[in-house]
Amino acid sequence: MIEDACAGKIDLILTKSISRFGRNIVDILTTLRRLSDLNPPVAVNFESEGINTSDGKNKLIISILSALAELESQQKSIAIKEGIRYRMQEGLYKYSVKNTIGYYRDYSGRVKIEPAEAEIVRYIFDSFTEGASPREIAESLTEQEIRSPKGMDYWRQATIKSILRNEKYCGDVRYQKTYSKDYLTHKTAKNRNILPQWYWENDHPAIIKREQWNRAQELLDAGNWRKSSKPLEAMKKKFTVAKVKSGVLRGYFLLDMMWSKEERDQFIQIINSINELDDGQEERNE
C-alpha cells in the first residue's frame, strides 16, 4: 500500500483506527511523515478517532494515540505469553510438530507417529549409537535422496545433531526452549536460563527407546567422533505407510494404487497395530 502511495496510485488511505495502522509509535509516525512528504501528499483518515492527517493540528493527538496503541499491543502480548506459559506449566500447550520428522498431529490435535518418517529417525539413532558421526549420517541420507525435515534435498550435520538432541523422540517434551526477545520484531532466541522451562515425561508415543536416547546424549556430550572405516549402510527397504501431516486431511493415510496384494495386507496390519497402540495409550491416560 505504501509503495502504491509513493507511486501516485493512492491519494487517501482510510483506516479503521490508529491501532490498526500500526502497533509501534515509531513506525506509525515514520510512515505518516513519509506519506505527508510525498508530492502531492497522501492523507490518512482514522475512522474511529475521527482524525485526518491532512490537518496539521492533529499531529500531537496522533502521537499520543500512537503511544497508547503501542502500549495496548504490549499488554496484549504479555497476556498471551502468560497464557501460553500457564499451559506449558500444566502440560497442556500444543507445541508444533510441523518440522519434527516422525510426528504429526491428527484431526483431534493428538501427537502421533508418522510411520514412514519414524524409520528415518530410527536409522539416525541406530547409526549414531553404532559409531557413525552426524556428518556421515547426513551424507548417507543425502546420497539416498531422502528429504530433510524441511523438504531439502540435502542434510546438514546440524540437522542430525538437532534430531539426536530432541527429547520428543523418547516421548518427552521440554517447554520454552526458545523465547521471543521483542514483542514487535518477534525475534526468537535460545532460552539459556533466561526464563523457566518445564519438562514432561511420557507426553506422547516414543519412537526411540529411552535407553538408546540416553546413550545418544552421552555420545553427543563426549563429542569424540571418528570417521568409520567402512561406509555407512543405506536404510533397509521396509514397507511403510505415510500420513498427511497438515491441512484438513491430517492424520489420514496416503494410499498407493500400485500396491500388491501382499503390500495391501501389510497396510491393514499396520493400521490395526497403530489403532491398538492408540487404544492402549488412551487407557493409560485415563
With beta carbons less than 8 A apart as the criterion, state whether 200 and 206 touch: no
CATH number at residue 32: 3.40.50.1390
Nearest to 160 by CA among 178, 142, 179: 142
Phi-psi sector, 73: left (phi>0), alpha (psi -120 to 50), beta: alpha
In a domain, 89, yes or no: no
- Partnered with residue 43 across adjacent β-strands are 12
Last residue of a domain, one of 79, 108, 123: 79
Q: What is the pLDDT of residue 19?
A: 81
Nearest to 174 by CA among 194, 158, 187, 191: 191
Q: What is the pLDDT of residue 286?
A: 53
Residue whose C-alpha cell reads 528415518 in the numeric block = 120
Residues 231, 153 share a domain: yes
CATH number at residue 180: 3.90.1750.20
The residue segments making up the domain with residue 56 are 2-79
pTM for the predicted model, two decimal places: 0.64
Collect the ranges in the chain with pLDDT lower than 70: 182-186, 225-231, 236-243, 245-246, 251, 274-286
In a domain, 248, yes or no: no
Number of domains comprising the chain: 3
Helical ranges in 1-114 per DSSP H:
2-6, 18-21, 25-36, 59-89
Residues 273, 229 share a domain: no
